[in-house]
Amino acid sequence: MSHPAYDQLVQRHLRMHRLAHLQSIASWDQSAFMPPKGNDARAAALAEVGGMLHEMGTAPELKGWLEAARHEALSEDDQASLREMQRAWDARNALPPALVEAISLATSHCEHAWRSQRPANDWAGHLPSLREVLRLQRDMAERLSQAHGLSRYDSLLDRYEPGMRSADIDRVFGDLRHWLPGLIQRVMAKQANEPVLRPEGPFDKTAQRNLGLAAMRLMGFDFEAGRLDESAHPFCGGVPEDVRMTTRYREDDCLTALMGVIHEAGHGRYEQNLPRQRLGLPVGEARSMGIHESQSLSFEMQLGSHPGFARQLSPLLQQHLGLQPAFEPDNLNKLLTRVKPGYIRVDADEVTYPAHVILRYEIERALIEGEVEADDIPALWHAKMTELLGLSTDGNFTNGCMQDVHWPAGLFGYVPCYTLGAMYAAQWFATLRRDLPDLDDRIARGDLTPVFEWLNAKIWSQGSRWSTPELVQRASGEPLNPAHFRAHLEARYL
């Protein structure tokens, strides 16, 4: 059966996918390998490609094609693809090309400067470029808000977690805010009398890299379709056919980089296992950033901090970093589940991590809604850090409000996805245990296949075929239920 309008849309999206492929690899290189003097030219090149993609995705003929395709006899998969094409078209057409290019230039400049300003604790130097990024993000939020009838912050949140609203976040985070501080105190009191041995460094970076590669193999990462490198902030980029993961190393701490690699491997395997026959189309992309984070946290927290999984990691640590008592399975499990409030989100344990997310969410929402300014961030950060985790960041910008790349990179609306991901991951494993009562024994025996097969069948292979709520319902038999996250934390830590 002929689908002339839909076929035209498919060809346009395939062309855009190929340009986005190059854009993604160039962005990864900007963070991983590009020499400092290359930044201005790279920023201009990325802005140019971003402008081209915006122009192709907002071309007048698309409106007619989208309208005509709605009247064509499409398969269920193609209807899902058309739905995602329409959503992307609506979002792009709310933004003028000049704004898209300005945002690309401003974020490239701010993020590049942040890499040297953060270690120098240079908030004053960082502030002017961050103000400009915030100004442009507010402009974008206002235009999206008017186009879609959402609040300014919700219009940005919708770019990362389609259909989720700040009212939903407030409900689940409000409940979390109520019981989390008490849980942190109870777990710390329980662990206070449990002796734990610390690994003795220094740990050679090459040995740590080899350890990370071994862990990636254990997690089933396909090295024919991806690689591991180093950057200032761990991330997973590239494209499904060529996944680029990074981590960062410290010679006095071997577990931070290892768990960072395991986390990013979850993102990587999701990308590598998206439906190949739909790559290049919006329906073949990852469903949302909350679902993406549920994959990294399924790997890092649900599996990586599982007592049985420590038995798989222990021989790898001893093989690559040497024999020492700290790497014995029981002690290693204690290390990986140690709860202690700290400054750095990416280094945080599973229990205190949501406090870091709540802090950022509350600040960034107020920033986008115009209730506070960039100048107010350090004082707000210090107040919320003191309230939620009992730590002062007064004057400590490096380990406080400058620690993350998200705001310099213009990723406002992203941060709630981390804790939504933790909640989804807890729900996936509650479902797995219901379906496979011997799951924990199998993990302890090193049999991770059931986990990967379930994730592939229920999440990875589905791409964006379903809305997020429908995907969650189909995978687990119920909507997002934060009670699974609380039950998981209490079972593991109390």
Query: Phi/psi at 436 (nearest 5 deg)?
Result: -130, 85
pLDDT of 150: 97
pLDDT of 233: 78
Instruction: Specify whether the CB–CB gap between 325 and 314 falls below 8 A.
Output: no
Q: Per the confidence metrics, is the pTM higher than 0.95?
A: no
Q: What is the pLDDT of residues 387-419, one digit of tens each?
A: 999 999 999 999 999 999 999 999 999 999 999
CA distances 95 to 79, 98, 109, 251, 412, Å, are: 25, 8, 21, 45, 16
Q: Is 132 a catalytic residue?
A: no
Q: What is the pLDDT of residues 336-367, one digit of tens each?
A: 999 999 999 988 999 999 999 999 999 999 99
Q: What is the pLDDT of residues 121-154, one digit of tens each?
A: 999 999 999 999 999 999 999 999 999 999 999 9
Query: Phi/psi at 349 (nearest 5 deg)?
Result: -75, 170
Q: Give the CATH architecture of domain 163-494.
A: Orthogonal Bundle (1.10)
Query: Domain residues of the chain, as ranges?
Result: 4-160, 163-494
Mean pLDDT of the region 459-481: 96
Distance CA 390, CA 302 (A): 26
State the catalytic residue, choosing from 84, 132, 161, 264: 264
Residues pairing with 239 in the sheet? 242
pLDDT of 347: 86
Q: What is the pLDDT of residues 81-104, one digit of tens each?
A: 999 999 999 989 999 989 999 999
Q: Is the pLDDT of residue 113 over 90?
A: yes
Q: Is the pLDDT of residue 1 over 80?
A: no
Residues 6+ apart with CB under 8 A from 455: 269, 270, 295, 298, 428
Q: What is the pLDDT of residues 272-311, one digit of tens each?
A: 999 999 999 999 999 999 999 999 999 999 999 999 999 9
Average pLDDT, the chain: 96
Q: Name the residue with higher pLDDT: 1 or 406.
A: 406
CA-based R_g, the chain, Å: 22
Q: Which amino acid does the sequence have at 134? A: L
Percent of the chain predicted with pLDDT > 90: 95
Residues 6+ apart with CB under 8 A from 290: 160, 161, 164, 416, 417, 420, 421, 424, 468
Distance CA 57, CA 281 (A): 13
Residues pairing with 237 in the sheet? 244
Q: Which amino acid does the sequence have at 185? A: Q
> Reduced to 3 states, what is the DSSP secondary structure of residue 244?
strand
Q: How confident is the model at residue 14 (pLDDT cuts 50, 70, 90)?
A: very high
Q: How confident is the model at residue 234 (pLDDT cuts 50, 70, 90)?
A: confident
Q: How confident is the model at residue 458 (pLDDT cuts 50, 70, 90)?
A: very high
Q: Is the pLDDT of residue 232 over 90?
A: no
